[in-house]
Structure formats: C-alpha cells, structure tokens
C-alpha cells in the first residue's frame, strides 16, 4: 500500500516566501497527499496566498495568536496525525524542495529522515548536528559539528549521514515515532523544539538520517546571531537550559545552566548593560519548570 504523507508548514508574515514554497511542493514528482499550513496570526497577505494556492488537499489553519514555531508545529503535526497520515514532513516557509526531494526521502527505510539544505548558490548549508554533546560539562555549546562543517559539499557526503539533531526544515517523521514519543513540545515557543524532539526520538531508539540526494533550497541566508539582551535572547537561554535540565547525561551537565547564568550576570557590566543578565536570570528560573517531557498523543 502506498505510504501517505502530509506536509506541515508553519508561517508568519512571509507570504511571498510561502507562495514560492507551495509552488515547489506542487512541482515535485511525488507530491504530498496533504499540505497543512499553520498561519501563525500573520498580518500580511498570507491568507490571500493560501486562498489562491493551487495545492490539492491544502488545509489552512489560521490562529488568532502567534503560537511560535514550536506551537505551530505541535498544532500542525497533531492535525496531520489525527487525519491518519503515515508520515509527516515538517517544513518552514523559507525553503523550496527540489522536484525529487520527497521521493528521495521515501526511498530510505528509516523512521526519521531529513532533507539536506543548500543555499541559492548551491553551497551546502545543512546545520543538523553530527554530534550534540550533553555529556561534557565543559562544552558551552553542545553542537560540536554540523553536516556542513563536516563535509565541504554535497558530493563529499555518503548517501546518508546519521545526525543527532535536526531543524524542522525538511524533517520527515513516520507515524510510529509520534506514537512512541509524542508531539513537539509547544512550551518552547521558538528555538530548540526541534532539538528536543530529535533527542527524544534518539533516546527511544530511532536513528535520524540526513539524506544526501534529498535537496532543499533555503531562500534566505542563515542568521544565527541573536540579541541575547532582547526577547529572542530570553528564549535562546531558557530553552538551552531546559534541554540541559531534561537531557544532561550527568549531574555536572545539568548544573551547567547555573554556571552560564552566573557568568552572564557577573560579566554583564562589561558587556554594556544588565538586560542580558535579567534575561538569563528569568530564563534559568523558567527553564526549571520545563522538566516534564511530553508523552504519546492521547
């Protein structure tokens, strides 16, 4: 029997990019059976783009509040899961799949797969971690290597590369994984919801494979520099700390958020103000309340 696949897309105020991505889905040689789009309270012309989209079996859900990427993917995946699809392919609004992308993914017999991203010039920009270290307390940044830091280009990659975490840009998960570990955790709001999901999947015994020949083209340059004194900085710190509290493999790693927070507070006068110190203090407090893991869907 043919496997059924639903694409789950979360979008916020990027209607033109969304339109390009939806056209890319329509141009694939193996089209998805359904496209679920979570319109995260957009205020641009996203609704009009969805109304005129030519994608068959498109399900548009317009939220009244911005649920963040985490809440959007939770809702979208829940919707696709409840509709009974065999696999769900998670997608951001700023990527366009190559015509054979989904077919290439489905050729691989694994329950967790991710397409491999490149930029508009064709350069490899896949940031999925080849190694994500939650064992070494001295590792300030758990991501030790990514696909694009390990391989100079796509041609250098083997057909599949085991990865420790993924982005929800091209990640395909089969239904059995959701049955086992549940849905993405909406409490993250933004950042690290995909990391959390990948860790839960691997701890349940699932290997995650990056598929070399499944090409996803990123329409925007990566911007991984965030103002740690601003509102995004709060979520960066809080969610990083939550991952350590939940999944740190020893006591010292689980203590690391306290040391990071202390260092930020002590150094804040030298870094131009106390806004980051306030962020990290609030983040540490709130992350301690995020220790409960999601369970299988009810």
Each residue's pLDDT tens digit, 17-57: 999 999 999 999 999 999 999 999 999 999 999 999 999 89
Are the C-beta atoms of 99 and 29 separated by less than 8 Å?
yes
Q: Where are the alpha helices (DSSP H) in 27-112?
A: 46-52, 68-82, 101-106
* Residue 143 pLDDT: 93
pLDDT above 80 (res 1):
no
Please provide the size of the chain in residues.
298
Contact, 11 vs 93, CB < 8 A? yes
Partners of 87 in the β-ladder: 5, 174
H/E element, 217: strand 208-218
pLDDT value at 224 more than 70: no
Q: Give the H or E element holding residue 202.
A: helix 193-203
Would you give the DSSP letter of residue 124? Answer: B
Q: Which of 75, 95, 82, 110 is nearest to 25 (CA)?
A: 95
> Residues 6 or more apart from 75 whose CB is under 8 A from it?
38, 61, 63, 67, 186
Cα separation, 144 vs 130, in Å, equals 8
Residue 64 is predicted with a pLDDT of 98
pLDDT tops 90 at residue 229: no
Cα–Cα distance measured from residue 167 to residue 239, given in angstroms and rounded to the nearest whole number: 15
> What distance in Å separates the CA atoms of residue 166 and residue 171, rounded to the nearest whole number?
7
pLDDT higher than threshold 80 for residue 272: no
Q: How far apart are CA 73 and CA 83, in angstroms?
A: 15
Q: Which residues in the chain are classed under CATH 3.90.550.60?
A: 5-218
Residue 3: how many CB atoms within 10 A of its CB? 11
For residues 297 and 114, the model is more confident at 114
Residue 292 vs residue 216, higher pLDDT: 216
257 CB-near residues (< 8 Å, 6+ apart): 240, 241, 244, 245, 284, 287
- Are the C-beta atoms of residues 114 and 177 closer than 8 Å to each other? no
CATH number of 5-218: 3.90.550.60
CA distance 28 to 36: 17
């Amino acid at each position: 029997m043919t496997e059924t696949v639903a694409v789950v897309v979360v979008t916020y105020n990027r209607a033109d990019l969304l339109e390009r991505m939806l056209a890319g889905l329509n141009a694939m040689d193996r089209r998805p059976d359904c496209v679920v789009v979570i319109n995260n309270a957009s205020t641009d012309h996203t609704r009009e783009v969805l109304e005129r989209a030519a994608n068959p079996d498109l399900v548009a859900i317009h939220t009244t509040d911005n649920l963040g990427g985490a809440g959007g993917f939770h809702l979208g995946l829940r919707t696709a899961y409840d509709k009974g699809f065999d696999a769900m392919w998670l997608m951001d609004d700023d990527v366009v799949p190559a015509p054979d992308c989904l077919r290439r993914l489905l050729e691989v017999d694994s329950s967790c797969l991710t397409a491999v991203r490149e930029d508009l010039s064709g350069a490899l920009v896949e940031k999925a971690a080849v190694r994500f270290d939650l064992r070494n307390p001295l590792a300030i940044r758990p991501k030790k290597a990514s696909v694009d830091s390990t391989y100079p280009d796509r041609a250098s990659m083997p057909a599949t590369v085991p990865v420790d975490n993924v982005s929800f840009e091209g990640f395909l998960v089969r239904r059995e994984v959701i049955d086992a570990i549940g849905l993405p955790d909406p409490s993250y709001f933004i950042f690290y919801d995909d990391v959390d999901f990948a860790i839960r999947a691997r701890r349940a015994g699932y290997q995650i494979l990056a598929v070399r020949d499944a090409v996803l083209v990123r329409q925007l340059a990566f911007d991984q520099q965030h103002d740690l004194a601003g509102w995004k900085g709060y979520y960066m710190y809080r969610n990083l700390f939550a991952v350590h509290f939940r999944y740190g493999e020893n006591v010292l790693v689980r203590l690391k958020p306290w040391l990071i927070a202390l260092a930020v507070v002590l150094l804040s006068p030298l870094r131009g103000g106390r806004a980051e110190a306030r962020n990290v203090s609030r983040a540490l407090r709130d992350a301690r309340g995020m220790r409960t893991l999601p369970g299988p869907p009810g």
